[in-house]
Every structure is written in C-alpha cells, then in structure tokens.
Amino acid sequence: MSTPERLIESTRELLWERGYVGTSPKAVLERSGAGQGSMYHHFKGKQDLALAAIRRTAEEMRASAEGILGGPGTPYERVEAYLRRERDVLRGCPIGRLTMDPEVIASDDLRAPVDETLDWLRERLAGIVEEGREQGEFPLSLDGEETAATIVATVQGGYVLARASGSPAAFDAAVRGLLALLRPAR
Amino acid sequence: MSTPERLIESTRELLWERGYVGTSPKAVLERSGAGQGSMYHHFKGKQDLALAAIRRTAEEMRASAEGILGGPGTPYERVEAYLRRERDVLRGCPIGRLTMDPEVIASDDLRAPVDETLDWLRERLAGIVEEGREQGEFPLSLDGEETAATIVATVQGGYVLARASGSPAAFDAAVRGLLALLRPAR
DNA sequence: GTCTATAATTTGATAGAC
DNA sequence: GTCTATCAAATTATAGAC
C-alpha cells in the first residue's frame, strides 16, 4: 500500500475507535508507520487527512447499504435484511459516531460527508417504505420519510445502548422491537 | 456555589459539549473560575471529577424522565409525552453521547452510571408497554423489553440524525415515525 | 482550602537536510 | 517524497508556599 493509502486507512481506524478529537497525528503516524514529513507532504494537516478518511468511510458505508437495500425481496424483507445484517455492534457506526464529536460538528467540511451519508440512507429507506405502502405491505397510514428516520435512528441508537451495556444484546432487542412494529399482518 | 459545586457543574457542561476525551482540566478550571490547587484538593484528578459530574447528570436525567413516565395518562400517552417532551435536540443526550467516548467505554467506573441510567430507562418503558398490552392499548404481539429498547434507541439515534443535519427536524421525524407505529387503532 | 511554580509528555505543525 | 530537528502551546498532573 502507498504511504497516503496507509495514512488514510490508519486514520479511518482511529476515527472509528476514538473520534476526531481523540485522534492525534502522532497516533496516526505510529499506526501507519509513516514519518512526520510524509504526512504533511501528502495532506495539509490533521483535518485534511481526516476529511479524506471520512469520505472514504462514507462511500463504503453507502455501497454496503445499497448492496442490501437494492437486493431482492419485498420492501419489508429488504428493511429486515438491512436491520439484521451482520455488524460489529460494539464498535458503533463509523459515520454516526462522528456526530458526537464537537470539532466535526463545528466544521461544515467535516460534517458534510456525515450528513450526506445519513441523508442518503434515509431517502433510500423512505423510497422502500413508500414502495411497501403502494404494494399494501405497509399500512397507508405510515409516512415514508418519518418511518425511514425511525429505522435509521433505531440503528444509530442501538449502537448507543449496546456500547453502554458492553453487549450487542440491546442493539438486537431494539431491532427486533422495530421489526415487530413494522411486520405486515398476515 | 461552593468550589467543588462549581467544578462539577462546569465539568457537566463540558462533558456534554465535548465528551471526556475532549475535555481538559484546564478548560474546567477556566469555566469554573477555580484554580489548579482547588481542583486537585477536592478531586483525585480528571477521572474522579468526571465521575462526580456523570453521576449527577445521570440522576437528573432519571428524575426528569420519571417525572413524565410516572405522570398521568394511558401507557401510549405517557410514551408519547416522553418522546415529545421539549429537548435541546442539537446538544444531544448528555448520557448517551458518553458511549461514543473511548475512555468512558474503557473505564468500568465511568461507564457504570451511563449503563445504569439507560438500563433503568429501558426497564421503566418496558413496564409501561406491558401495562399497555394488558389494557389492550398495545397489541399482545409486542414484547415489552424489545419495544422499550426501540423507543430508547429512536431517541438516541434521533440525536445523531439531528446533529448530522444541523437541525432538529430529523429527530422530530423519527419520533413521529415511531409514534405512528405505536399508535393504537381506533 | 487556595494559590503559584514547576514539570514531563503530547499536540499539531514547520524547517530544512537528504 | 521521506527523514529528523525543532517549536510553541496544551495536557495532566505534583510540590510547596500561604
């Protein structure tokens, strides 16, 4: 892997584990094996490197969600597949966790890819819920955008509950609770 | 206010705004107006002070939730009142945000009050959902614990969506989406 | 109890040799 | 492109005077 690649990948890991405020250039250098000079040659500084890392993580997250949401199945089945997909629950969401970082929220540049990713996910799910309403799988009383927000929030909040308790169980419970509420009557 | 009080209150604010990793003793001293010596006289260090601050925030959050959940109304009405209560949405949850802090999660002492608070909230809501099932306000097909986990997760995740977009609208949408799913048929 | 002084380490970056 | 040297400021304390 090239030096800039190694810097980005190490930064991605550290941002996931420790957030922006908790990640120092020194830690990135140690993990990547690069020297001080290399980092400042390829990137303007901590924020520039973090931006490259966040953009890549956002792209990956979107592609992986699309892989499931654009797959086979009825709307309910695709939502279920998304909610039940394997996740490293205790590590949390590499994008969502950034919203709790004061310096990410303070910088429009750093926040933009986070916002765009979660917004895309909500829109994607809203379309699927609408599809389900039209097909009669979901009640017409549901609102696509609102239901989609609830689905994304349940996932993001599920990580919070799991990390608080140190176990994925609470995440799974929240997902099962939501699926029971969404489940079509037979 | 006494010096220890001012130290705790300043730490509470900073933990809410910046998390544990992002909060320095220096910032606490500046905000509280106390000197270096005072802080280390009354507390063993950063972690000890943070623990006192987190415990107090946890107590307050619990009391304020109980004020609504133990209030009047049917089970659905009490859940709705809790979800719709006024919140400083863009500031996020002062307890939930700590789960994204690597040093809080790494310390059993710091994590304990966070875990206990969210756990208490889930149990409290689970009891209310059970009550609603028995009274026929919620379908018997719902599971109390799972539905409660979904409710708490929606709130916690709602903060994530709101902070990502820089607007409370997404939080409100997630709450409305959940209430539509929970709403008793007339 | 509170204050100032001191200190070892880390942070985030620049300079300049190679 | 990569390296080491250097730097001012911040971090998380401890020491000891008052």
**pLDDT of residue B179 exceeding 80:** yes
Nearest nucleic acid nucleotide to A34, CA to C1' distance: D2
| CA nearest neighbour of B54 among B12, B9, B17, B21 | B12
- Neighboring chain B residues of A164 at a CB cutoff of 8 Å: 96, 99, 111, 114-115, 118-119
The answer as to whether B8 is a domain residue is no
Distance CA A13, CA B4 (A): 38
The answer as to whether A15 is a domain residue is no
So what's the pLDDT on residue A185? Answer: 82
Domain count, chain B: 1
What would the pLDDT profile of B25-72 be if each residue is shown by its tens digit?
999 999 999 999 999 999 999 999 999 999 999 999 999 999 999 999
Closest residue (CA) to C1' of nucleotide D1 is A38
* Smallest Cα distance from B181 to chain A, Å: 6
CB contact under 8 A, A164 and B21: no
Residue with tokens 């730490």: B11
The answer as to whether B24 is a domain residue is no
Residues of chain B numbered 126-165 and touching chain A (CB < 8 Å)? 141-143, 145-161, 163-165
Distance CA A133, CA A102 (A): 39
Of the pLDDT bands very low, low, confident and very high (cuts 50, 70, 90), residue B129 is very high
Q: Which structural domain, as residue segments, surrounds residue B142?
A: 48-182
Q: Say yes or no: Cβ of A1 under 7 A from any atom of strand D.
A: no
Nearest CB to B164; choose among A115, A146, A164: A115
The answer as to whether B9 is a domain residue is no
Of the pLDDT bands very low, low, confident and very high (cuts 50, 70, 90), residue B81 is very high
* Smallest Cα distance from A102 to chain B, Å: 6
The answer as to whether A16 is a domain residue is no
- Neighboring chain A residues of B147 at a CB cutoff of 8 Å: 177, 180-181
The secondary structure of chain B as a DSSP string is: --HHHHHHHHHHHHHHHHTTTT--HHHHHHHHT--HHHHHHHSSSHHHHHHHHHHHHHHHHHHHHHHHHTSSS-HHHHHHHHHHS---GGG--TTGGGGG-HHHHH-HHHHHHHHHHHHHHHHHHHHHHHHHHHTTSS-TTS-HHHHHHHHHHHHHHHHHHHHHHTSTHHHHHHHHHHHHHHPPP-
CB contact under 8 A, A152 and B174: yes
So what's the pLDDT on residue B144? Answer: 98
CATH of the domain at A136: 1.10.357.10
| CA nearest neighbour of B150 among A9, A155, A46 | A155
pLDDT mean values, one per 10 residues, chain A (186 residues) = 97 98 98 96 98 98 98 98 98 98 98 98 98 97 98 99 98 98 88
Query: What are the helix and strand counts (H, E) for chain B?
Result: 9, 0
Q: Are B80 and B179 in contact (CB under 8 A)?
A: yes
Distance CA B65, CA A70 (A): 40
Of the pLDDT bands very low, low, confident and very high (cuts 50, 70, 90), residue B185 is confident
Residues near chain C (nucleic strand), Cβ < 7 A? Answer: A 23-27, 36-37, 40, 45-47; B 2-3, 34-38, 40-42
